[in-house]
Each structure stands twice: as C-alpha cells, then as structure tokens.
C-alpha cells in the first residue's frame, strides 16, 4: 500500500470561518482543506457562501438537486447550469456524444495524439510536464474530438492560459472577455459547417433538437463551451496530477506498466487523492439545514471535491493509494443527475495517454532540484511540474 503525505496547514480565520484564497491555503490546498475538514464538515466563507468539506454532506446535497440548484450563473450553461426537465432534455442530447460506441471509434485518434506527444518528450533530462505534455494534450485532444483544425490548437492554448490567469485573479471583466473570445472560436467552427455534410460532433450539433425544435446557436455554443472548457483545464490538470504521482511512486508506476488494465481505476484513485477539479457551486432554493447549519434561500454552497474525496470517515487514510475502494464513493466526476457527462471520455483519454507514456518510457522520476509549483485556488493540480523521462 502506498501513502502520499502532505504537511499540515494553518488557516487564517480572522474575518470568516475560512478563506479559500488565503496564502495559508494556497501554499498547499489539499492540506488546507484537510485541516478545515478536521474542524467540521461545513464552514462559512463570507458573502452568503458556505463550503462543504464532508463526504456525507456532499452526497446529500448532490442527491437533492431540487433544494440545491445548479442554476448558479447569469450566463447560459447547458446542461450543467440547468435543473429538472430542462436539464433532462438537454442532457439526453449531450449523452449521445459519449456512448461506448462513439468513444471506441475515437480511441485511434486519441492514441495518435498521445503517441505523437510522448515521442516528442526529451529523454534523460528535466521536462516541464504541464507545458510539454499536459496542456498540449488537452488542446490537441479537444480539437481531435470536436473535429476542429490543427490550426486552432495554438489559439486554444493561448486562450486557456488567459482563462487560467483571469480565474486565479477572480477578474470578472477579464473572464467575460475570454468567454466572448472562446465563443467566437466556437461560432467560427459552426459557420464553417453550415450546409456541409456532417463529419464531426461540431457539425452534428447543428442538426440536434431539444423539446421538438432545432437547437439555437446560443444553445450549441453553450454545450460546446461546457465540453471544451472543462476539457482544456481539467484534463491538463489531471495529466499533471497522475504523472506527478507516478513519478513519486515507482512501485505504482511499475505495477501499471505490468498491468495497464488497472489504469482507469488507478487514475480515478490518484485523482481522488489529489483532485484536479477543486469545487462546484450550488444555490439553495429552500431553507435547509446541513450539518446543523441553517442555510437560507439563495445561499451559495461550494461542494469542495478536493476535501470530500479525502474524508477519513469514508476513505480512512486519504493519502493511501488503494484499488479496492468502492467506486461509488469516489466523487471526482460528481454524482447524481449532474454527474459529468464527459467522464467516459476523460477516462479514455487518461488511459490512452498513460498507456503510451508508460509503454514509451522505462522510468519516470522527479527532476533533481525542481520543486513542483502547485496551482492556486480555484484551480487544482500543478502550475509547474518538472519530471525526467528515461
């Protein structure tokens, strides 16, 4: 059994029960969340907003979408920002793009992207993994899945970095600007496919219907934005987290080289230990009590995946790597009606990339003297991760 340990963190609680953006938390997010969870399953972080740290409390919220609504944004978010019948109608459309048959057909293209990047990695010297592998893989695989031209890879990568900077800064104006920019990329791809034969998911969406009528352009843009923005950020973060874990745990690395069939379960477990996606929001629709705390109508709630997936009441030692856990307890892709529709695609992409990476190397190790730089809230994973491939 493998244990992955972190230092303890001290939380500044001068102005609220906790501050997710405090430097104490930023120094090591997971340790900070562990420290808060030890104090209780829920905490107030100011401005009518609560954060849920406990697994049982998170499950109750996720299983009650009527009380804890996903409609939290002023902008159209399909399907994740909808509830009830509207959510079900759009989700029926979205789920058709992530079937077993579709993903099996996509796997050769996914493998080609992964193999090209792995072959290009320098051997025997330090490599910054986020810029050399994780982010290019996320950009290139998004273009491959959507049927977008290779020429869009570089603009997507530049956009993703702008989005990360704006998100870290909490800069609403910058976030709005990058959203408009990204929507422009999507609309250009839709326009290029109007009146043309359907050859990819982007073109197919132009012919979809919901509630008996064709989807409007703004609905298609929202659907594609939901797929691709999550892909660009979360897949890149996931690649970094899994690569970093394997470099620091050679016994797990060797086990997966010997038996690649364990890769899906292993990546799920590694992402439970160190979640790439930190939190998601809900809005309270009816006064409700959570862990003894009365939440008023319209209160904002953050389900902190990076804590609930490490709750000792469910997982024992949260840093212990185990492949015999109940998969239903792992909330890395969510739970309930809003379970991530792209989870099968994400698992395929991570499996294929690490099959290629482990098959194309004899050893992955941390680079001497190159400390990893953790990402800052609300992002998970690493900002920089330097490894060596032999």
Looking only at the bridges linking them, the beta strands covering 300-304 and 49-52 are parallel
pLDDT digits (tens, 9 = 90+) for 203-212: 999 999 998 9
pLDDT mean over 85-91: 97
236: CB partners within 8 A, 6+ apart: 130, 134, 135, 137, 138, 160, 381
pLDDT digits (tens, 9 = 90+) for 313-350: 999 999 999 999 999 999 999 999 999 999 999 999 99
pLDDT digits (tens, 9 = 90+) for 268-317: 999 999 999 999 999 999 999 999 999 999 999 999 999 999 999 999 99
More confident residue, 174 or 355: 355
Tell me which residue range forms the domain holding 153.
15-389
For residue 220, tell me if it sits in a domain: yes
For residue 5, tell me if it sits in a domain: no
pLDDT score for 179: 85
Res 42 pLDDT > 60 = yes
For residue 4, tell me if it sits in a domain: no
Confidence of residue 362 (pLDDT cuts 50, 70, 90): very high
For residue 329, tell me if it sits in a domain: yes
pLDDT score for 5: 36
From 68, 36, 257, 240, select the one nearest 138 (Cα to Cα). Answer: 240
Res 6 pLDDT > 60 = no
Quick one: tokens of 321? 């790597």
For residue 6, tell me if it sits in a domain: no
Res 109 pLDDT > 90 = yes
pLDDT digits (tens, 9 = 90+) for 164-189: 888 777 788 888 888 899 899 999 99
Give the total number of structural domains in the chain. Answer: 1
Sign, CA dihedral 308-313-318-321, equals: negative
pLDDT digits (tens, 9 = 90+) for 136-145: 999 999 999 9
For residue 7, tell me if it sits in a domain: no
pLDDT score for 15: 40
For residue 9, tell me if it sits in a domain: no
Res 13 pLDDT > 50 = no
Q: What CATH number should be reported for the domain holding residue 99?
A: 1.10.630.10
Res 122 pLDDT > 90 = yes
Quick one: tokens of 145? 């899945």
What is the C-alpha separation between 15 and 376, in angstroms, rounded? 21
For residue 8, tell me if it sits in a domain: no
Q: Angle at which helices 100-120 and 343-359 pack, to 10 degrees?
A: 40
What is the C-alpha separation between 225 and 234, in angstroms, rounded? 13
8 A C-beta contact, residue 140 and residue 236:
no
pLDDT mean over 72-85: 93
8 A C-beta contact, residue 337 and residue 89:
no
pTM: predicted TM-score of the whole model, two decimal places: 0.94
pLDDT mean over 15-22: 82
pLDDT score for 284: 97
Largest CA distance in the chain: 60
Q: How many angstroms separate the Cα of 243 from the Cα of each of 35, 163, 249, 253?
A: 26, 23, 10, 9
**What does pLDDT average to over the chain?**
92
pLDDT score for 219: 97
């Amino acid at each position: 059994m493998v244990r992955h340990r972190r230092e303890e963190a001290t939380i500044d609680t001068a102005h609220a029960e906790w501050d997710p953006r405090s430097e104490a938390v930023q120094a090591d997010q997971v340790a900070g969340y562990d420290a808060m969870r030890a104090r209780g399953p829920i905490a107030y972080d100011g401005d009518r907003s609560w954060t849920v740290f406990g697994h049982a409390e998170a499950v109750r919220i996720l299983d009650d979408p009527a009380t804890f609504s996903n409609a939290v944004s002023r902008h159209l978010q399909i399907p994740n920002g909808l509830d009830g019948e509207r959510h079900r109608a759009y989700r029926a459309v979205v789920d058709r793009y992530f079937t077993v048959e579709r993903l099996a057909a996509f796997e050769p293209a996914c493998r080609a992207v992964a193999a090209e990047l792995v072959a290009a990695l320098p051997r025997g010297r330090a490599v910054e993994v986020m810029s050399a592998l994780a982010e290019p893989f996320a950009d290139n695989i998004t273009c491959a899945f959507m049927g977008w031209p290779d020429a869009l890879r570089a603009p997507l990568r530049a956009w993703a970095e702008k989005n990360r900077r704006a998100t870290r800064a909490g800069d609403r104006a910058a976030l709005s600007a990058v959203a408009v920019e990204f929507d422009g990329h999507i609309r250009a791809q839709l326009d290029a496919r109007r009146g043309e034969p359907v050859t990819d998911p982007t073109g197919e969406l132009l012919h979809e219907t919901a509630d008996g009528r064709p989807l409007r352009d703004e609905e298609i843009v929202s659907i594609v934005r939901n797929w691709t923005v999550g892909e660009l950020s979360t897949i890149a973060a996931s690649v970094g987290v899994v690569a970093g874990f394997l470099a620091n745990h050679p016994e797990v690395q060797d086990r997966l080289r010997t038996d690649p069939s364990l890769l899906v379960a292993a990546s799920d477990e590694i992402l439970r230990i160190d979640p790439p996606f930190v939190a998601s929001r809900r809005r309270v629709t009816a006064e409700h009590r959570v862990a003894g705390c009365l939440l008023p109508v319209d209160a904002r709630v953050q389900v902190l995946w990076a804590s609930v997936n490490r709750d000792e009441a469910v997982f024992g030692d949260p840093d212990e790597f185990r492949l015999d856990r109940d998969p239903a307890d792992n909330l890395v892709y969510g739970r309930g009606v809003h379970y991530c529709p792209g989870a099968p695609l994400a698992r395929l992409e991570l499996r294929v990339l690490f099959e290629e990476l482990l098959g194309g190397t004899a050893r992955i190790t941390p680079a001497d003297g190159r400390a990893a730089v953790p990402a800052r809230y609300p992002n998970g994973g690493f900002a920089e991760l330097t490894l060596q491939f032999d």
